[in-house]
Amino acid sequence: ARRADMSKEDDVHELWEWSVAEFGHVDAVINNAGISPNGTIENMNWRHFHLAFQINVATPALLSRLAATHMREIGGGAIVNVASTHGMTGISGRSVYGISKGGLIQMTRMLAIEWAEHGIRVNAIAPTTVGSDGSRSGASMIDGCDVGCDTGRRAATGAAMAGGDRCAVIAASARCCSR
C-alpha cells in the first residue's frame, strides 16, 4: 500500500504513476475519498467549502481522467465513485456535502456516457449516512477528525493495493493525518 494526500494534485499523480509502475496495469479505480463538513453555504468556513469540492469532486475527476487514459490502452476497465444519498436528496445543515456529492453523481453519468465506447464502465454507489462517531455526534467531522480543530492536518489519503493477477485497484478514503 502507498499513501497519498488526495487533496494534493501532485500526490494523486504520484500515486497513479506508482500504481501503474508497481502492478503493470490498473483495472479498477474506486474513488472513495470524501469529507463531510457540516454547514450551509451561508455559514461554511470557505476553506472547508473548497476542500469538500476538492476531495469530493475534483480528485475523483483527476483520478478518473488518469485511469481512463490508461484503461483505453489496456482495453477497458471500471471506475466506481462512492457518492451519497445526500447528493440526490437534501439534509439540513449539510448543503455543501450534498452539493459536492451531487456533482460527483453527475460526473459519473457524464463519464459513463463518454467512456462507454472505450470499454470503461463508470458507476456510482450512493450509501446513506454511515454510523460513525462523527455522524452520531453531529459534530463537524471529516472522517472522525474535527475540522474545527486547528491542531494536526486533516487530509484524504489514497492507497494502491494489489488485486488479481498483476493488476491494481486504487482505493482512496478519508483519513485523519498529522503532518
Q: Which residues are catalytic?
A: 97
CA distances from 72 to 23, 29, 103, 116, 160 (A): 17, 14, 24, 10, 20
CA distances from 124 to 1, 80, 82, 92, 146 (A): 24, 5, 6, 23, 27
Contact status, residue 82 vs residue 68, Cβ threshold 8 Å: no
Contact status, residue 87 vs residue 101, Cβ threshold 8 Å: yes
How far apart are the C-alpha atoms of 27 and 163, rounded to whole Å?
9
How far apart are the C-alpha atoms of 120 and 127, rounded to whole Å?
23
Contact status, residue 79 vs residue 107, Cβ threshold 8 Å: no
Contact status, residue 36 vs residue 134, Cβ threshold 8 Å: yes
